[in-house]
Structure 1
């Protein structure tokens, strides 16, 4: 009887050990997935007019990051996607220079791979090549022969080699990102879904202004961290502005 009980006990131990061994790899895999998340804890918050500047602790290191303006509290733990590193960045809105700061596109209080549809925050569209299709509602009348956004995208190779003027309505503006103002204009034309032209400039404009910019376009511009433009007009001059 003793031998039978001992034998049963050994069998139960083996079965239990097998279950534990089968479970551990899955737990380890889940742990690895979690550690791959970009995540930090907020230790300080400075609110600007456009951005929220956060001092954070990540991997036992302190650093500064900037996100689109949103309510954030000390102690919050946030997950994020991509970060664009800037050195010697001066923020005019808070009058402070950061030796190194990271501009972050999207932050969330939950892991991004768990709830991609409910991501919170996000960097303004200063670095995104297009605006949402719902914003393509601008209509302006242009004289015959005046350059349109459709012309630029259709004949982009030609326009990249010469300086020209283009008129449109401002649909989005992000000020002082990488030392420039990023302006999105539309004129009601487009091709292949490209109805929005991004322009970098030192000029100040507002959403709704009808503007004329002068400059050259750059093709396939890559700013890193996933911010890529097929077509962008850089360092343009503001020729005229009609306030809305």
Structure 2
């Protein structure tokens, strides 16, 4: 799919993939709007780190300014200096995993140990401020559409007429981001495409993992604005799993 701007975290975790079937109560809830952070380079020193399930929470110092941030799990050394660009600030963020409320926390896609962004680690520009990262470039074998459902090719080709309508789609999970904006974000592919769109983003309360073959029923929404500049060309909203 074609959404046009970089993620953050939580993103753009946001934030990276949180894989695995976990109890919904283990994920965190956001109770207030997000605030954008400029995309200037941030240089931080890690003062403390806490494992938060799919995230690692960092207490950092940036030019004398102390704050908390969260990124997808990656090796982090306390005392080391790291760099990141962009990010989103979330206020009154409740981490159920930590049983803690952060007055404000910055979510970033990742941090790095050099100022320069490596070509392989560049932020995705395929999203309009989506609260998750771009799905990986994978080749998915053709998956037969569900009974009474639509292939992703049909969804993308006929999205104008499907807007605000309930549809059923079946595909392989290629990306998962859980507990972002009180939703789980799932990318699926079924081996079909239209105009280079092959990846459908789904918001749900269901728990799935990468590699699962799933069937979802939800409502197609076009040009969905989740606030804070997060806009999707197309998304399947509030989807439920069909057995």
Normalising by the residue count of structure 2, what TM-score does the alignment of the two structures yield? 0.72
1:10-25 matched pairs, under 5 angstroms: none
Map 1:50-89; keep pairs closer than 5 Å: 50-89=54-93
Note if contact 1:68-1:121 (Cα within 8 Å) is conserved in structure 2.
Answer: no
C-alpha distance in structure 2 between counterparts of 1:63 and 1:105, whole Å:
16
Instruction: Judging by fraction of residues, say which structure has more helix.
Output: 1
Q: Give the ranges of 4+ consecutive aligned residues of structure 1 lying more than 6 Å apart after TM superposition.
A: none
Structure 1 vs Structure 2 CA RMSD: 2.6
Secondary structure of the corresponding residue to residue 108 of structure 1: coil
Tell me the secondary structure at the aligned position of residue 144 of structure 2: coil
Contact conserved, 2:61 with 2:67, CA < 8 A, in 1? yes
Report whether the alignment pairs 1:193 with 2:215: no
CA pair 45-172 structure 1, distance change in 2 beyond 3 A: same
Q: 1:1-244 alignment to 2 at 5 Å?
A: 37-112=41-116, 115-117=117-119, 119=121, 127-128=132-133, 130-133=134-137, 135-142=138-145, 146-223=149-226, 227-240=230-243
Conserved 8 A contact 2:140-2:172: no
Higher relative contact order (CA 8 A, sep 6+): 2
Structure 1 residue runs without a partner (length 5+): 1-35
- Aligned residues between the structures: 199
| 5+ long unaligned stretches in structure 2 | 1-39, 125-129
Are the aligned partners of 1:169 and 1:211 in contact in 2 as well (CA < 8 Å)?
A: yes
Cα 1:207–1:69 change in 2 (3 A) is same
Q: Deviations over 1:182-236 (max 9, x none)?
A: 1111111111221111111111112222222121122223456775422112222
Asked if 2 retains the 8 angstrom alpha-carbon contact of 1:126 and 1:183, the reply is no
